[in-house]
Amino acid sequence: MIRKPLLLLLGACLALAWAIPATAGAATHPKVGAHQYFEGLVNGSLGATGRPALIKVVCPGPDGRTGHPLGKQTLEVELSKAVLAGSGYTGNDATSIAAFFGAPPPTAAGPGAVSFTRYGVAKAIPTSLELPCSGSGHVTFVPFPESPPTSRSASVAVEFVNVAV
């Protein structure tokens, strides 16, 4: 008689133990949605004033003006812990955020775009991109679909560094 309730209790405990890690994973990587402030990161950096995020580029040859980014470099979006002057805002409709090198196109599927539907998930900078061998620029994180005037992009200042020199 005691065995059946004990087995039911044991089964319930096991089910709960399996459910907790799945729930915890979703909480640590919340979905991109409406009315959220966010930050873009390049190689873990916000690219604060005077301290741009570094992107390493391989530019072989003496005349190399553009090259491909070195592997194992990342982009990421995070929910803002505090609203900063450069924070992005998803506005009324966004369900994703796309990162662009250079001017962003009108859709999230532009060339070289890296798209995010969850916060806190780092993604690789595509090594197929053609980037400057040196100098400065910006990576723009754009919420999609855009909902002007409420949505706002975030921009990360970057410095391109030729590692083949």
Across the chain, how many H-helices and E-strands are there? 1, 11
Residue 151 identity: S
Does 2 score more than 80 pLDDT? no
Digit-coded pLDDT (tens) for 121-154: 999 999 999 999 999 999 999 999 999 899 999 9
Report the range of poorest mean pLDDT among 10-24, 106-120, 121-135, 150-164.
10-24
Radius of gyration for the chain, computed over Cα atoms and rounded to the nearest angstrom: 21
DSSP letters for 34-93: SS-EEEEEETTB---TT-PEEEEEE--STT-SEEEEPSS-EEEEEE-SS--TT-EE-TTT
Q: Where are the domains of the chain?
A: 1-29, 31-162
Listed residue (80, 79, 72) closest to 43, CA to CA? 72
Average per-residue pLDDT in the chain? 85
Q: Cβ(137)–Cβ(130) under 8 Å?
A: no
Does 156 score more than 90 pLDDT? yes
